[in-house]
Structure 1
Amino acid sequence: MKRKKVLIIDDDLSCLDVMQLVVSGLGFETYTFPTWKSETIQEIINIRPDVIILDEWLIGVKGSDLCVILKSINQLRRVPVILVSGTEGLAEIARRSQADGFVEKPFDIAEIEEIVLRF
């Protein structure tokens, strides 16, 4: 049976590490990106993730804007994207950007487990 692939994009390395530990502890294959570059989209397409966890505040770009871009790409449009942030109004930001869910920071480990298992 193929293991679920979870991609995590967060420039806060401590959050990235915690999420990676939680997700890999569930037995999933994890991929992490601490930064966003234009070539990242092709890398994501090549990985073919089952779920993407995406921080709202990355250096130089908003995760919600990236979510809109990811959802516009044929190979990625059906991949669930989960926004993660401590920003106010995250539910509305997630809705407007077509995200499939959201987790507010500071998050509880059980929240990350639950949302990854849901998708």
Structure 2
Amino acid sequence: MENEVKKVFIFDDNQEILDLCTLILEEAGYSVKTSTTSNDIIAQVISFMPNLILMDNWLPDLGGIEATKAIKTHKLLNHIPVVYFSANSEISNLATQAGADNYLSKPFDIQDLEEIVKKEINSDTI
């Protein structure tokens, strides 16, 4: 069980950010899935059942706050840590509003991304 590959689901409307995060996290040993939309957010998350979700603020359709709230109020998913990440200067307020577990400001340092992912995934003990 200890060697189980941890899964990270990244929601961001910017494909370059998704590619960069995927590269960094796969290099660090995580399995990564990405989506540029929050359409059917619950179905998307259930299909992958990640250990962690990285949620951008600016997402087409639902938006990061509503998408995070949907995850955090769903009985099968509410245990999954959500890290809110955005270039918005109000990110801590947005993360709180969304009910996220943590946040990461963009642009971010690669080391900061790796550290926050590791910290939140390790807190995901069910």
> TM over 0.5: same fold?
yes
- 1:25-77 CA-partner distances (Å, limit 9, x unpaired): 11011111122212x42131121100000100012332012111110111110
* Paired positions, count: 118
Q: Which residues of structure 1 form unaligned runs of 5+? A: none
2:119 is the alignment partner of 1:118: yes
- Aligned partner of 1:58 in structure 2 is 59
2:25 to 13, 23, 26: 23
* Identical aligned residues as a percent: 31
Residue aligned with 1:117, SS: helix
Residue aligned with 1:93, SS: helix
Runs of 4+ in 1 over 3 A off after TM superposition: none
Task: Tell me the TM-score normalized by structure 1.
Answer: 0.93
- Aligned partner of 1:105 in structure 2 is 106
In structure 2, what is the Cα distance between the partners aligned to 1:24 and 1:6?
9
In structure 2, what is the Cα distance between the partners aligned to 1:101 and 1:111?
12
Root-mean-square deviation (CA, aligned residues, Å) is 1.1
Task: Tell me the TM-score normalized by structure 2.
Answer: 0.88
Residue aligned with 2:54, SS: strand
Q: Which residues of structure 2 form unaligned runs of 5+? A: 121-126
In structure 1, what is the Cα distance between the partners aligned to 2:50 and 2:69?
17
- Aligned partner of 1:92 in structure 2 is 93
